[in-house]
Amino acid sequence: MTQKFFSIEQLSWQSPKQSMLKALREQVFIVEQSVPKYIEWDEYDDNAIHLLASDDAQQAIGCARILLERGRVGRMGVLKQARGQGVGYALLMEAIAICKAHGLKQLQLSSQTHAIQFYEKAGFVVTSDAYIDANIWHKDMVFKWA
């Protein structure tokens, strides 16, 4: 498979591109993973930093949400057809860079168990036993830097 071009931009929930973020999260989490809508849409979106990855045709292909005040990244998703092209890793590295720039010393996340190796390759370590969230098995993970 050929590597395709993509870009990542930082947005607020009030951005004109909110509809792109919502459509992507709906496809990945609500449709594909059967996350209930009442769990997906929460009070944290309004004040979060949102990352949106777009392909060379300016179509949304990936996203992530950073909650600076909680030191957490979540709602990371990549459309099925864009997986395996480095989009998720680029989103994660951008989230880490943003958190470092804001003076955080660590970043936490809740990983679906099937994605643990992905996060471990980026330097995250598991910090909890498995638990169910949104009907999906997860483990807490943390990334610390000096």
Q: 92: which residues sit within 8 A by CB, 6+ positions away?
A: 64, 73, 76, 119, 122
Instruction: With a cut of 70, list the residues of the chain below it in pLDDT.
Output: 1-4, 146
Tokens for 98, please give them: 């943003």
Q: 76: which residues sit within 8 A by CB, 6+ positions away?
A: 62, 63, 64, 65, 88, 91, 92, 109
pLDDT of residue 145: 86
Every domain of the chain and the residues it spans: 6-144
**DSSP string covering 33-77, please?**
S---HHHHS-TTGGGSEEEEEEETTS-EEEEEEEEGGGTEEEEEE
pLDDT of residue 1: 43
User: What is the enclosing helix (H) or strand (E) of 145?
Assistant: none
CATH 3.40.630.30 fits 6-144, yes or no: yes
- Say whether pTM exceeds 0.75: yes
